[in-house]
Amino acid sequence: MTHRLPRSSIVTSIVVLVAAAVSIAGAQTPSSTLPRTPDGKPDLSGIWQVMNTAAWDIQDHTAQKGVPAGVGVVVGGEIPYKPEALAKKRENYANRATADPESKCYLPGVPRIMYMSYPFQIFQKPNQITMLFEYVHATRPIYTNGTQHPPGHIDWWMGDSRGRWEGDTLVVDVVHFNDQTWFDRAGNFHSEQLHLVERFTPLDRDHITYEVTVEDPKVFTAPWRMSMVLYRHREPNAQLLEYECFTFDNEFHAPVPSK
């Protein structure tokens, strides 16, 4: 990819490449069994969903009322926060019920939208992959036509996604975020300098390994990584419905009383 990326992304890319080589080697599947599009790429089309609790907390956590316990998705378990950022994370956690932007039904950003407890659908063309999400009808166009990120910085909730294929892995570079989304309900956060490299590697026709490298020099001391599995919905009548979060609660769409 010829995008103009921060210098540190070169380091990130090397880290990711090595990591991916390891993970692909560890999950060998006969690539001939994968469904493919006419241009020979793995066909990721379909309705997918995680089976994890990362949207509540991307790290190991004990159950709370309404929150299932979960094994973390952060590779190595720890997130390398800068000291002042760690303090902010703890403050976020304490205030999470109201401070989490998702509690206001805002677009949850990437990568959080990928592991919300709602299905999403992938549509695949050679030059564009479109992801549609049931949760607040979010969308992600991922341009795979060799174009670069538009010049920025641009404050977008869902960022700007540019993809390319490395063998059977879809690699997506995402920048142009605002600083208003979190990674989870536990208060893990980022700044507008968030830069993601996502890797979608099909395990077989019904499973995709989803890995994302997170980089944000304002908040973290080093890049870090999450890894999880996306599961295909096999129900013959599966389809996206709607979760229009912001229509449910009068306080949200009513004029907020100014008191």
Partner 1 sequence: MTRPLFGGVIASVVAGAMLSAGVARIAAQGPPPPPKNPPPPGWIDPRNPPKEDPNWQPPRTPDGQPTIEGQWGQASDIITYSIEDPEAERAGHTAISGQRPMVGRPIIDPVDGKIPYQPWAVKFAAFLNAEHIKPSKLEYLDPVSRGFQEGVPRINYQGAMQIQQFPGMVLITYDYHHSYRVIPLDGRPHVGKDVKLWMGDSRGHWEGNTLVVDVANNNDQTWLQIVGGFHSDAFHLVERWTPAAPDHLVYIATIDDAKVYARPWKLRVDYRRQKVDEQWESAVWEGNRTADVVLGDSKK
Q: Which residues bind partner 1 (CB under 8 A)?
A: 38, 45, 105-107, 121, 123, 125, 128, 130, 132, 136-139, 141, 143, 156-158, 237, 239-242, 244, 246-248, 250, 253-258
- Residue number with CB closer to partner 1 (71 or 246): 246
- Residue number with CB closer to partner 1 (98 or 237): 237
- Residue number with CB closer to partner 1 (90 or 125): 125
Q: To the nearest whole angstrom, how small is the minimum distance from the Cβ of residue 126 to partner 1?
A: 12
Q: To the nearest whole angstrom, how small is the minimum distance from the Cβ of residue 103 to partner 1?
A: 13
Q: To the nearest whole angstrom, how small is the minimum distance from the Cβ of residue 136 to partner 1?
A: 7
- Residue number with CB closer to partner 1 (122 or 226): 122
Tokens of residue 177, six digits: 């975020």
Instruction: Check whether the bond before 195 is cis (ω within 30° of 0).
Output: no
- Residue number with CB closer to partner 1 (46 or 70): 46
Tokens of residue 120, six digits: 């999403």
> Looking at this protein, which amino acid is placed at residue 255?
P
CB 183 within 8 A of CB 58: yes
Rounded CA-CA distance 88/81 in Å is 10
Q: To the nearest whole angstrom, how small is the minimum distance from the Cβ of residue 175 to partner 1?
A: 13
Q: To the nearest whole angstrom, how small is the minimum distance from the Cβ of residue 169 to partner 1?
A: 22
Rounded CA-CA distance 60/26 in Å is 23
- Residue number with CB closer to partner 1 (125 or 234): 125
Q: To the nearest whole angstrom, how small is the minimum distance from the Cβ of residue 60 to partner 1?
A: 31
Q: To the nearest whole angstrom, how small is the minimum distance from the Cβ of residue 246 to partner 1?
A: 5
CB 115 within 8 A of CB 59: no
**Cβ neighbours around 249 below 10 Å, total:** 11
> Looking at this protein, which amino acid is placed at residue 169?
T
- Residue number with CB closer to partner 1 (37 or 221): 37
